[in-house]
């Protein structure tokens, strides 16, 4: 029986880095579901569509076949056969993904694909509604968060390192706005599942957070980490 680990939490909590490392430790597949929402946004934008127009996005879904493939253990996202893994990481696609993820038809379109991967593989799947909607029977549910100030601090440092000159105040305002959007949308809002373990990484470094996750997965499933390096 595949083991399913669901990880949800707000943007900037370090979910993908931590979830990826935990998946590697157990030899599970890491599934980044945000990439699927991004792939829909990418298709809509590159075909001249408006990601905020629910009717036109819904009509376009018939033309889109998103797929997740694993090449040397790394997730790649394909849309109609094209590898779009890098192209979906732009600020424009991030905004578009946020818009399309609030459209009910998009969520139901991606639902079965996510379920199928989890039925067929042991996974660490990260997103916003994995423990609450996509995998309500997951073996382990984790809600990974950090204070808005700490998430903004990490994001601010990242941006400065990449040469982007932004103020801490504007990054914090963005973090707060995205939290509000994710938590207040009508469909599948971000919230902690009742049976999820809360992991707050505000005062924990990356290594500590990965160890925390591995400990929870081990305790809840009895699985033993196969790789000591992560």
Look at the block and give the residue holding tokens 């600020």: 91
Q: What is the dihedral sign for C-alpha 214, 217, 220, 226?
A: negative
CB of 4 to ligand DC, least distance (A): 14
Binding residues among 161-200 for ligand DC as defined by CB under 6 A: 182
Examine residue 34 and tell whether it contacts ligand DC (CB under 6 A): yes
Q: Using CA atoms, how far apart are residues 131 and 128, in angstroms rounded to an integer?
A: 8
The piece of 43-51, 72-80, 123-131, 198-206 that touches ligand DC (CB under 6 A) is 123-131
Examine residue 11 and tell whether it contacts ligand DC (CB under 6 A): yes
Contact residue for ligand DC among 20, 24, 128, 153 (CB under 6 A): 128
Contact residue for ligand DC among 30, 37, 42, 143 (CB under 6 A): 37
One character per residue 72-111, x = contact with ligand DC (rule: CB under 6 A): -------------------------xx--x----------
Examine residue 51 and tell whether it contacts ligand DC (CB under 6 A): no
Rank residues 129 and 150 by Cβ distance to ligand DC and give the closer one. Answer: 129
Binding site for ligand DC (CB under 6 A): 11, 33-34, 37-38, 97-98, 101, 127-130, 182
């Amino acid at each position: 029986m595949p083991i399913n680990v669901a990880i949800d939490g707000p943007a900037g909590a370090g979910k993908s880095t931590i979830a990826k490392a935990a998946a590697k430790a157990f030899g599970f597949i890491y599934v980044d579901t945000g990439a699927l929402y991004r792939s829909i946004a990418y298709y809509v934008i590159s075909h001249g569509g408006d990601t905020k127009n629910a009717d036109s996005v819904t009509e376009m879904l018939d033309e889109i076949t998103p797929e997740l493939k694993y090449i040397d253990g790394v997730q790649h996202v394909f849309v109609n056969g094209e590898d779009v893994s890098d192209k979906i990481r732009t600020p424009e696609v991030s905004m578009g993904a946020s818009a399309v993820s609030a459209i009910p038809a998009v969520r139901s379109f991606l639902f079965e694909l996510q379920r199928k991967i989890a039925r067929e593989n042991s996974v660490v799947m990260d997103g916003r509604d994995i423990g609450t909607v996509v995998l309500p029977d997951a073996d382990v549910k984790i809600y990974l968060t950090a204070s808005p100030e700490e998430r903004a601090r990490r994001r601010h440092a990242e941006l400065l390192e990449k040469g982007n000159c932004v103020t801490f105040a504007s990054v914090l305002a963005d973090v707060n706005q995205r939290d509000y959007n994710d938590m207040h949308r009508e469909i599948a809002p971000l919230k902690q599942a009742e049976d999820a373990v809360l992991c707050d990484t505000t005062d924990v470094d990356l290594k500590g957070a990965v160890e925390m996750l591995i400990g929870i997965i081990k305790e809840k499933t009895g699985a033993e980490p196969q790789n000591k390096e992560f």
